[in-house]
Amino acid sequence: MKTAFLFPGQGAQYPGMAKDLFEGSQKVRELFAAASDITGKDLTRLLFNGTEEDLKNTDNTQIAMTLANIAASLVLEEQGILADMVAGFSVGEYAALYNAGVLCLEDVFKAVVYRGRAMEVGARESDGPEGPSAMSAVLGLPFDEAAPIIQSFQDEKVFIANHSSPTQIVIAGTARGLDLAEKALEEAGAMKVVRLKVSGPFHSPLLEGARREFQEAIQVLDFHDPVKPIFSNVTGGLITSGQEARSLAGLQIVSMVKWVDCMARIVEADVQRVLEVGPGRVLSGLWKSYHKPLRAQSAGTLESIQALL
């Protein structure tokens, strides 16, 4: 059965995530120990005893999500369920890079440490007197209708960060800019506009400083050619080489996540099974809004993985 793994990103985290996987798998316990050594953080404490606020901090979130995503993929593999192709949403792309053989375990956790630190600093540099920069989900307004509205607020430093589904985008910007843009989008017919539980204006030009810092930091890491198809947030298409993966890793920080394009390419590949491999059900919902004939199934907890069997 041709299977696609979709790895969720920042915003899907919650206290206690992956605890059932940790308790049920020796491989996952070994993964936690290795990741804690690489990152210099007590990750069992962070994931199982950390607060929502602890997990919201970008330099924690990115490590925690990558760990939870990889843990779920290990448990799936223990049950004989392997990915034929992979994609990850935002920081979820790092679990995909690991699964596709682009980054080894040590380098994938080094990468998300560098990325989290750079993006947290970059986010705070974009804060203003009105408050911290942030992101908002815009529901019920097609991309073609929302895009020109957002374009009109670029001077207020608001940008489209994610093309998440045919009727959902995410915008990123300064506190003042988001207040203005959200009102305009609601007046244009958006069903709902929701501030997200993230700590910065990710996937926007506001993080150009973070992109430069991160791009320099990852020069010491080894990016290998993929051993299976992996789809890029930046292009929506396949990542064809390690060299391309390294370049796209930096660009991803300041570029719109083309998730609709990633989903389209997976559908074109005629997969028979789509699994959301990690915490929450965000990507399953986005998949349903794009392609209802094939349901994306949750595979981020021990119970949901056992249900697949």
DSSP code, position 220: G
Q: Find, among 44, 61, 48, the residue nearest to 10 by Cα.
A: 61
Q: Can you tell me whether residue 234 is helix, strand or coil?
A: coil
- In the annotation, is 298 catalytic? no
Please say whether the beta carbons of 209 and 125 come within 8 A: yes
User: In whole angstroms, what is the distance from residue 216 CA to residue 230 CA?
Assistant: 23
- In the annotation, is 291 catalytic? no
141 torsion bin: left (phi>0), alpha (psi -120 to 50), beta (else) = beta
69 torsion bin: left (phi>0), alpha (psi -120 to 50), beta (else) = alpha
Q: Can you tell me whether residue 28 is helix, strand or coil?
A: helix
Place of tokens 């997969």: 271
Torsion, Cα 283 285 288 290, to 10 degrees, reads: -60
For residue 169, the cross-strand partners are 138, 163
47 torsion bin: left (phi>0), alpha (psi -120 to 50), beta (else) = alpha
Q: Which of 90, 164, 165, 255 is catalytic?
A: 90
Q: Find, among 309, 116, 76, 171, the residue nearest to 108 by Cα.
A: 116
Q: Which of 36, 73, 163, 203 is catalytic?
A: 203
The 10 Å CB-count burial string (b at 16+, else e) for 31-62 is: bbeebbebbebebbebbbebeeebbbebbbbb
- Cα-atom radius of gyration of the chain, to the nearest Å? 18
Please say whether the beta carbons of 235 and 262 come within 8 A: no
Residue type, 209: G
Q: Which residues are catalytic?
A: 90, 203
